Structure 1
Amino acid sequence: MNKPHLLRLPGLLCDARLWQHQVAALAGQAHVRVADLTQSDSIAGLAEDVLAQAPEQSFALAGLSLGGYVALEIMRRAPQRVFALALLDTSAHADSAETMQGRLTLMRQAAHDFPGVIEVLLPRLLHPRHLRDAALVQLVTAMAASLGAEVFRRQQLAMLERIDSRASLAQIACPTLLLCGREDQITPPALHQEMQAAIAGAQLAQIDDAEHLMPLEQPQRVSSSLGAWLTSLRRPLPRALPG
């Protein structure tokens, strides 16, 4: 049996390390690739970057947070290239005025104190229990530090200027999985429930004891949900997916 291609899109200040557990767990089910979202400063530009990196064949697409925003743009630009979609800890909304102001404040801080920005972000990204996991905190910190302040600036600009995607959700016709951390404060479950209502046949699973970086916080549960999603693509979608 030919394995499908699965293209993964990381979130803000994340790279392939975000998906390391799922890449290993799902290697038997799919050809897994992680795209680079560090080069452009607009969602449109990042979507074009991803399409240039994508397999020539149709592929399954999974995006977390910023990666989800880019995935929704890809669904508008090239829906024929994507045969299945997974959106994790993300939103179809544009930024609120309050969120925009928060991004601008962090961008100003990053210009002179990028390590301080990482410290501010950590409690928003990880569940309190996982903040006590020194190895996990070190991994997230190292990932952000290696990408650096300039990538942070470009990615924040892209998110600041993104459009509201709610109007285009009904146009998504491929099998879609929505997956979120039950305690996510940045993109809480209600936002995923809203997307589920707008995307025909979309499946929703919530992961306990996880905030915004589920693939690292709950790697086995996320891998199980994504594995079930991939399996479901070869048969009618199940009524529920493990969470």
Structure 2
Amino acid sequence: MNDARVWQPVIAAMNEHQCQVADCSGHASVAALAATALASAPPGPFALAAFSLGGYVAFEILRRAPERVAALALIATSARPDLPESIIGRERMIAALVNARSGAAGFDALAAAFLPRLVHASRVNDAALGDLLLSMARSVGPDGFVRQQRAAIGRPDSRPLLKDIRCKTLVLCGREDQVTPLDCSEEMASGIREAEMLVLERCGHMAPLEQPDAVIRAMSRWIDAV
């Protein structure tokens, strides 16, 4: 339920670099999302930064065109396939949206219900952050949300790919991330040869917006190392 604004603080700080954000709501599979991202990417090798659902797409990009990825940043994501209990939860949300078709108010309620899982407990009542998350959810919309859920459900297990990743890799996670918990990032960092891991304290899933300065510092070091 995010749009390009999730990267806005990072892009603003890296204005000396050519940055672009791939759409992660236009298709219902990571394969189609990866194909679209590659088609719009600059020619030649590029640095690939991926947040949450974007991480699943990034792994598909690495399967398809590893030679294009000069550096990799994996932020609040996972290499694991979806768990059976997660699939059940996603299917229930999809069914509720499809069956109710309750319009903006119903979707707003669903998006608002996610907030306590998305951010650190200290930011749950942060009105500005909450308003931004709701605005991004509205821009994705119910149909885009369903496509995102389908893509997450159908993603492959990317753990076998980790050993083949050779580029400079940053793995970053909030310690209190409830969506992609810390052990997901630890698993990726231990499986990738050139990985550096950073854990942000007092941070939930929305690291680029909860702690933008820390994410910017980490990503600046990462990109400078390339």
Shorter-chain TM-score tier: over 0.9
The answer to whether structure 1 residue 37 and structure 2 residue 28 are counterparts is no
The answer to whether structure 1 residue 119 and structure 2 residue 112 are counterparts is yes
How far apart, in 1, do the equivalents of 2:186 and 2:139 lie? 34
Question: Where has structure 1 moved over 6 Å in runs of 4 or more?
Answer: none
Identity among equivalent pairs (%): 45
The Cα shift of 1:15 comes to 1.1
Partner of 2:15: 27
How far apart, in 1, do the equivalents of 2:130 and 2:2 lie? 13
Partner of 1:213: 206
The Cα shift of 1:220 comes to 0.6
Partner of 1:129: 122
Partner of 2:135: 142
Q: For residue 73 of structure 2, what is the amino acid of its counterpart?
A: A
Partner of 1:72: 59
- Name the SS of the counterpart of 1:50 in structure 2: helix
Instruction: Give a deviation string over 1:74-93, Cα, whole Å, max 9, x none.
Output: 01100011100000000011
Q: Is 2:162–2:188's contact at 8 Å kept on the other side of the alignment?
A: yes
How far apart, in 2, do the equivalents of 1:218 and 1:105 lie? 31
The Cα shift of 1:177 comes to 0.6
Q: Is 1:183–1:211's contact at 8 Å kept on the other side of the alignment?
A: yes
Matches within 5 A, 1:90-239: 90-111=77-98, 112=100, 113-233=106-226
How far apart, in 2, do the equivalents of 1:209 and 1:109 lie? 33
The Cα shift of 1:36 comes to 1.1
How far apart, in 2, do the equivalents of 1:232 and 1:182 lie? 25
The Cα shift of 1:128 comes to 1.5
The Cα shift of 1:57 comes to 2.5
Q: Is 1:61–1:82's contact at 8 Å kept on the other side of the alignment?
A: yes
The partner residue of 1:47 within 11, 15, 34 is: 34
The Cα shift of 1:109 comes to 2.3
Partner of 1:17: 5
Instruction: Name the count of aligned residue pairs.
Output: 220
Q: CA RMSD in A?
A: 1.0
Partner of 1:3: none
How far apart, in 2, do the equivalents of 1:205 and 1:160 lie? 27
Q: Is 2:170–2:196's contact at 8 Å kept on the other side of the alignment?
A: yes
How far apart, in 2, do the equivalents of 1:160 and 1:231 lie? 35
TM-score (norm 2): 0.95
The Cα shift of 1:116 comes to 2.1
Q: Is 1:110–1:117's contact at 8 Å kept on the other side of the alignment?
A: no
How far apart, in 1, do the equivalents of 2:96 and 2:120 lie? 24
Q: 1 or 2 for the larger relative contact order (CA 8 Å, sep ≥6)?
A: 2
How far apart, in 2, do the equivalents of 1:94 and 1:169 lie? 14
